[in-house]
Amino acid sequence: MNKENNEPVGSRREILAGMGLAALGLMGLNSAWQKLGFNEIKPALNPNIRKYKADSAAPFPNVTLYTHEGDAVKFYDDLIRDKVVAINMMYSQCSGICPKSTANLREVRNMLGERAGRDVFMYSITLDPERDTPEMLKQYAERYGIRDGWKFLTGAPEDIEWVRYRLGFYDVEEDADNIRENHTGMVRIGNDDRKRWSMAPALSDPWQIMATINHLDPKVVHTAEAHT
């Protein structure tokens, strides 16, 4: 935490600065290649964007998914409709950001207290549905001591892909989109009733994630406890 402005390490300023340096680096690389007589580097655009973003009159696909408790649920009707939600993507065999994200979001779940499963609903959707059965996800949830109010979800691979694209967990560059780990670092937070959606880094300070949730939840009066 930066004591001067209460901004955590890895803050928005640092992230934006990093994005700016990355953009400058790509521009410089393109310029160098052009001087050598090569065309500008243009990554292949993802052909699935148009396919998955269209094709439904509902805000989100109403496909059938399965919870880590073995229940069949409709993604939009049962999980999203008229609710305040926090959604991330993960998979049980991930050894990178997923364990850290799950542990961080567990702190958010604890902060929500009785609001979890009543006012705010947390969902983690697997990126590896062929391996992550409900039983595997149940073991994963038990390993991290996940309490009620938070569901881990799997389903048919094509349905998971559709949900992923409609939630915005995709990259416009096809090669980057094919890297599963690229979709595990953010939390999609929304209020379907008010049609308001936002995102937060999964590894940001839990209180920052809570602030985003509270901003979208009209029923909130106070967070679970004072931030000290």
3-state secondary structure the chain: CECCCCECCCCHHHHHHHHHHHHHHHHHHHHHHHHCCCCCCCCCECCHHHHHHCCCCCCCCCCEEEECCCCEEEHHHHHHCCCEEEEEEECCCCCCHHHHHHHHHHHHHHHHHHHECCCEEEEEEECCCCCCCHHHHHHHHHHCCCCCCEEEEEECHHHHHHHHHHHCCCCCEHHHHCCHHHHCCEEEEEECCCCEEEEEECCCCHHHHHHHHHHHCCCCCCCCCCCC
Is 98 among the annotated ligand-binding positions?
yes
Q: Does the residue 82 lie in any domain?
A: yes
Q: Does the residue 146 lie in any domain?
A: yes
- The structural domain count of the chain equals 1
The parent domain of residue 124 ranges over 63-216
Res 86: pLDDT = 98
Is 68 among the annotated ligand-binding positions?
no
Q: Does the residue 148 lie in any domain?
A: yes
Q: Does the residue 160 lie in any domain?
A: yes
Q: Does the residue 98 lie in any domain?
A: yes
Q: Does the residue 158 lie in any domain?
A: yes
What is the pTM for the complete model shown?
Answer: 0.75
Res 178: pLDDT = 79
CATH number for the domain spanning 211: value is 3.40.30.10
Res 57: pLDDT = 58
Q: Does the residue 58 lie in any domain?
A: no
Q: Does the residue 113 lie in any domain?
A: yes
